[in-house]
């Protein structure tokens, strides 16, 4: 049995933890190092200093835990997920111990400067394999790495994203979106709220966006999520205040059975992409159909490759088309249910689960 040392974010609802579970279901012996909560309890100044200098007790502690686990477990493969603070010498020691080192990144990296760290840039050069979920970043990875670069689309968890029992489908709002704030998303949700008052939103930044435009913290936090800007001074969309829902923890997201209940209980689940980067699909692209929801998403080549338009999902390209399709599908239950069923069937039979994605990666690596 192949031994895998897994380094990732293992908290509730984290897709990293879902991929760890998929490895175990596939029969690998897995030892995990929790990388989440690295900055929990640290003050703002301390965190900024450690991140700027790439040194300090928290970064030291993470690297020490990884090396101690590797010495104890003797892995054949080290699977590191979105690791910003592993040191080059740590990766070198892991390789010297005989392990194949693999880095998996579910997020953009080269496209967003604030996603990069000096330590991660150094490690990209050293990994034996890099699994990239953003097709548009493949060339950048190949330019910066000597390792094997593999493209693997995102996916869904067959346990956490299974259709819930009827009594768990607890949203009952007609239109739902679970994801972070962005100006375009805000504008589109305001348009949806013109078609129905039953719109619900969960995710990071939505409550902040409702604060005064003169709030400097709002300007800085939302500016980071606004294409081409460092500050955001747009006026709040007051129409959206009634749509905001409380999430879990500080980021406003919802996870696992609650997330599945919201999607399953909706009439339309929105699969917005971001303007901030050129994503063609997200985890929502697979999670919504897997749960059994009707997905209305941005029209992209990836989306049309994964789900046939008008038969397995529905797409839009403009604000007007979005508004028209929200109105149409709210009024046409039979068409909506037919597409949701077909999308779910496509998801179940096309190798979109994390189990399938990881199996393909391991087969390519001959592990």
54: domain CATH number is 3.40.50.2000
Q: Please answer whether residues 366 and 148 qualify as being in contact, where contact means their C-beta atoms are separated by less than 8 angstroms.
A: no
User: Checking phi first, is residue 349 left (phi over 0); if not, alpha (psi -120 to 50) or beta?
Assistant: alpha
89 CB contacts (<8 Å, ≥6 apart)? none
Which CA distances in Å does 298 have to 71, 206, 358, 361? 46, 20, 26, 27
Cross-sheet strand order for the sheet of 148-151: 29-34, 3-8, 77-81, 100-105, 129-132, 148-151
Write down the H helix ranges in the chain.
Answer: 15-25, 44-53, 57-73, 88-96, 118-124, 138-144, 183-195, 206-209, 216-223, 256-264, 284-291, 301-306, 319-331, 333-349, 354-365
141 and 290 inside one domain: no
136 and 212 inside one domain: no
Q: So what's the pLDDT on residue 215?
A: 93
Would residue 159 count as lying in a domain? no
Rounded to whole angstroms, how far apart are CA atoms 10 and 13?
Answer: 8
Backbone angles phi, psi at 103, to 5 degrees: -115, 130
Which residue in this structure is represented by tokens 């890099």? 130
271 and 311 inside one domain: yes
Q: So what's the pLDDT on residue 171?
A: 57
Would residue 8 count as lying in a domain? yes
292 and 329 inside one domain: yes
DSSP state, 216?
H
170 and 319 inside one domain: yes
Partners of residue 175 on adjacent β-strands: 199, 268
Q: So what's the pLDDT on residue 168?
A: 62
119 and 68 inside one domain: yes
Q: So what's the pLDDT on residue 167?
A: 57
Q: So what's the pLDDT on residue 276?
A: 85
Would residue 281 count as lying in a domain? yes
Q: Please answer whether residues 106 and 80 qualify as being in contact, where contact means their C-beta atoms are separated by less than 8 angstroms.
A: no
Would residue 139 count as lying in a domain? yes
Distance between alpha carbon 294 and the CA centroid of its chain, in Å? 19
Q: So what's the pLDDT on residue 78?
A: 98
Which residue in this structure is represented by tokens 């149409």? 328
Q: Domain range spanning residue 285? A: 166-349
> First-to-last CA distance in the chain?
10
**Rg (Cα) of the chain, in Å, rounded?**
21
Per-residue pLDDT of the chain (367 residues; tens, 9 = 90+): 899 999 999 988 899 999 999 999 999 999 999 998 887 878 878 888 888 888 889 999 999 999 999 999 999 999 999 999 999 999 999 999 999 999 999 999 998 777 889 999 999 999 999 999 999 999 999 999 999 999 999 999 999 999 998 756 665 789 999 999 999 999 999 999 999 999 999 999 999 999 998 999 999 999 988 887 789 999 998 889 999 999 987 788 999 899 999 999 999 999 999 988 899 999 999 999 999 999 999 999 999 999 999 999 999 999 999 999 999 999 999 999 999 999 999 999 999 999 999 999 999 998 8
Burial level of 72, CB count in 10 A (0-12/13-18/19+)?
exposed
138 and 237 inside one domain: no
Would residue 322 count as lying in a domain? yes
147-154 CB contacts, 8 Å cutoff, 24+ apart = 148/365, 150/361, 150/364, 152/104, 152/357, 152/360, 152/361, 153/281, 153/302, 153/306, 153/352, 153/357, 154/15, 154/106, 154/281, 154/282, 154/283, 154/285, 154/286, 154/357
Q: So what's the pLDDT on residue 115?
A: 81
Q: Please answer whether residues 346 and 307 qualify as being in contact, where contact means their C-beta atoms are separated by less than 8 angstroms.
A: yes
Would residue 171 count as lying in a domain? yes
305 and 358 inside one domain: no
327 and 233 inside one domain: yes
Answer positive or negative: Cα dihedral of 310, 316, 321, 324. positive
315 three-state secondary structure: strand
- Into how many domains does the chain fold? 2
Would residue 47 count as lying in a domain? yes
79 and 206 inside one domain: no
Would residue 127 count as lying in a domain? yes
pTM: predicted TM-score of the whole model, two decimal places: 0.94
339 and 361 inside one domain: no
Backbone angles phi, psi at 7, to 5 degrees: -115, 115
275 and 199 inside one domain: yes
20 CB contacts (<8 Å, ≥6 apart)? 6, 8, 10, 30, 32
CA atoms within a 13 Å half-sphere pointing along the CA-CB vector of 328: 14
């Amino acid at each position: 049995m192949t031994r895998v040392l897994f380094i990732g974010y293992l908290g509730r609802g984290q897709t990293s933890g879902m991929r760890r579970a998929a490895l175990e279901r596939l029969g690998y012996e897995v030892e995990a190092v929790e990388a989440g909560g690295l900055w929990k309890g640290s003050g703002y100044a301390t965190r900024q200093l450690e991140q700027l200098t790439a040194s300090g007790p928290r970064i030291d502690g993470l690297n020490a835990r990884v090396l101690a686990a590797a010495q104890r477990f003797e892995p054949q493969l080290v699977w590191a997920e979105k690791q910003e603070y592993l040191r080059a010498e740590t990766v070198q020691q892991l390789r010297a111990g005989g392990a194949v080192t693999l880095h998996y990144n579910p997020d953009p990296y080269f496209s967003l400067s604030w996603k990069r760290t000096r330590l991660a840039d150094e490690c990209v050069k050293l990994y034996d394999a890099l699994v990239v979920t953003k097709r548009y970043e493949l060339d950048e990875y190949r330019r910066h790495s000597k390792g094997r670069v593999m493209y693997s689309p995102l996916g869904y968890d067959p346990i956490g994203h299974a259709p819930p029992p009827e009594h768990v489908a607890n949203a009952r709002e007609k239109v739902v979106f679970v994801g972070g704030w962005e100006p375009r998303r805000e504008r589109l949700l305001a348009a949806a709220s013109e078609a129905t008052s039953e719109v619900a939103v969960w995710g990071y930044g939505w409550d902040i966006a409702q604060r005064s435009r003169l709030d400097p913290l709002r300007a800085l936090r939302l500016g980071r999520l606004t294409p081409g800007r460092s500050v955001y001074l747009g006026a709040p969309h007051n129409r959206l205040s009634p749509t905001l829902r409380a999430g879990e923890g500080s980021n406003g997201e919802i996870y696992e059975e609650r997330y599945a209940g919201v999607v399953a209980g909706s009439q339309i689940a929105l699969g917005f992409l971001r303007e901030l980067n050129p994503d063609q699909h997200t985890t929502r692209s697979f999670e919504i159909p897997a749960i059994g929801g009707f997905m209305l998403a941005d029209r992209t080549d990836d989306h049309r490759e994964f789900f046939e338009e008008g038969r397995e999902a529905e797409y839009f390209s403009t604000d007007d088309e979005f508004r028209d399709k929200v109105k149409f599908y709210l009024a046409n239950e039979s068409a909506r249910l037919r597409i949701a069923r077909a999308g779910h069937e496509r998801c179940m039979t096309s190798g979109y689960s994390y189990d399938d994605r990881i199996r393909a990666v391991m087969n390519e690596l001959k592990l």
